[in-house]
Amino acid sequence: MSLNVVTLVGRVGADPDIKYFDSGSVLCKLPLAVDRRSRNSDKPDWFNLEMWGKTAEVAYNYAKKGKLIGVTGSLKIDSWDDRNTGATRSSPRIKVDRLELLGSKRDNDAGSVDGYGSDDEF
């Protein structure tokens, strides 16, 4: 048995970046800052999030910098060879399956809706 599930709650670190493809697919990327439970840590852990489809559009419209969100997804490691050095590089990211808009109604705008996930895509 194998399991790859990541659940995070944190604040959006920058306004989302969205890309529309000719195929009709939509991709949204954004950084997420997550505080550690320890009192000693004053710096958050940063995660790069990737969302597709309707979830991507909701993130772009409502998950602005500083907003509190929760995500569930899977860890994905991208790797490539550096053009200059030839060294193998890697970058972890979270492929989000479910996005929850958290915080107060005032934080999220009155018209926003929570709980968009990959089940909402066509």
Q: Residue for token digits 């990211």? A: 93
Domain boundaries defined on the chain: 6-36+43-105
3-state secondary structure of 61: helix
Q: Which CATH superfamily is domain 6-36+43-105 in?
A: Nucleic acid-binding proteins (2.40.50.140)
pLDDT of 1: 82
- Maximum pairwise Cα distance, the chain: 50
In angstroms, the CA 35 to CA 66 distance is: 13
pLDDT tens profile 45-75: 999 999 999 999 999 999 999 999 999 999 9
User: What is the overall mean pLDDT for the chain?
Assistant: 86
pLDDT of 113: 43
pLDDT band at 2 (very low <50, low <70, confident <90, very high): confident
